[in-house]
Amino acid sequence: MPQEIFSYSNDHVLQKVSVTVLSDDPQPGYWVIFIHGGAWRDPSKTFADLAAAETLLCTAEPYTSTVLPHIAAFASIEYRLSAHPEHPQDPVATPPSQFRNARHPDHLADVESALALLQGRYGFGERYVLVGHSCGATLAFQTVMRHLGGYDDHFRHRNLAQPSAILGVAGIYECRLLRDHFSGISAYQDLFEGAFGPDETLWDAVSPAKVGSGFDGIQGGWTAGKLAVLAYSAEDELVDTSQAEAMEEALRLWTSSASQEETRRTVMLPVKGRHDEIWEKGEELARAIAFTLTELQKM
Ligand SMILES: N[C@@H](CC(=O)c1ccccc1NC=O)C(=O)O
């Protein structure tokens, strides 16, 4: 299964998406689309962060007989990053296409452009699961928020088909809550300021758990959604479990406002391992993806 890489814009080298199509079957399975983490700024995180889990899902039992037949393709999105203090770049010598100085809403605009490219080429509609790790989970849920602070509706891809399910793994859902939980560690303040600037009202206005349950957030926005899975690890040293708990709470109104009962669900999924171990080893990420697809089949 050869991997292809597409650029969804020529402005920046990070604006690319990898695609592995498993089946051209006219009775299609789901696309699994991954958004990596790295606090909106870590250049060591790439679309390859899905690779270990993808390999397991494609080669290891029981996945090959249980969920693999229901997967049409894997895709993994890279997006422009914000500046990282430990990875400085010379602003004069670095070409703009490689310079990392993205600010919200650049990260999300790129994710949406990547999804638009995929939909344009492959047209899978709502038959996809959007999977995000850490800030990738923030981005995944932001794609289905009705309004988003700092992002003019006019520029959004309003008619992009929404995912049937979102799997958030070790996700950041409420920026200030996370910063306050780790108030002794300045890196948290820095990473949010790097991505969103110093105005903390904007941090709230982009946090899926803060505006999630309101009409402006996920309740009003994610009309096509069926399933939200929030995977969290008690061993996660970077993102504590109150993030997933806050998101579960925010999703309550979205779940209960479904037109028919049982058509929307939120599931909390405990996983094992440290923050990056989950995708690095791939076992827990693969398990969480398989779990999400299995639950989705039942709905
Ligand atoms: N390796 C990252 C740190 C990082 O990824 C992170 C740190 C704290 C909370 C969440 C994180 N990642 C989320 O995407 C960095 O270099 O900034």
Q: Which atom of ligand 1 is nearest to the CA of 136?
A: 14
Give the atom of ligand 1 at the shortest distance from the alpha carbon of 178: 9
CATH code, domain with 68: 3.40.50.1820
CA of 289 to the centre of ligand 1 (A): 22
**276 in contact with ligand 1, CB cutoff 6 A:** no
Separation CA 264–CA 257 (nearest Å): 9
Q: What is the 3-state secondary structure (H, E, C) of 56-111?
A: HHHHCCCHHHHCHHHEEEEEEECCCCCCCCCCCCCCCCCCCCCCCCCCCCHHHHHH
Domain interval for residue 128: 3-298
Q: Tell me: ipTM over 0.90.
A: yes
194 lines ligand 1 (CB under 6 A): no
Report the pLDDT value the prediction gives residue 261, as an integer from 0 to 100. Answer: 59
Q: Among the atoms of ligand 1, which is closest to the Cα of residue 40?
A: 14
The total domain count for the chain is: 1
Catalytic residues: 134, 236, 275
Distance 254 CA to ligand 1 centre (A): 28
Is there an atom of ligand 1 within 6 Å of 22 CB?
no
Tens place of pLDDT for every residue, the chain, 299 residues?
789 999 999 999 999 999 999 977 666 799 999 999 999 999 999 999 999 999 999 999 999 999 999 999 999 999 999 999 999 999 999 999 999 999 999 999 999 999 999 999 999 999 999 999 999 999 999 999 999 999 987 777 768 999 999 999 999 999 999 999 999 999 999 999 999 999 999 999 999 999 876 788 999 899 999 999 999 999 999 999 999 999 999 999 999 888 765 689 999 999 999 999 999 999 999 999 999 999 999 99
Question: Ligand 1 pocket, 102 CB below 6 A?
Answer: no
Q: Are 73 and 63 in contact (CB under 8 A)?
A: no
191 CA to middle of ligand 1, Å?
8
Is residue 21 within 6 Å of ligand 1 at its C-beta?
no
In the chain, DSSP assigns E strands to 3-7, 16-21, 30-35, 71-77, 128-133, 165-169, 227-233, 265-271
Dihedral over Cα of 192, 84, 76, 276: its sign: negative
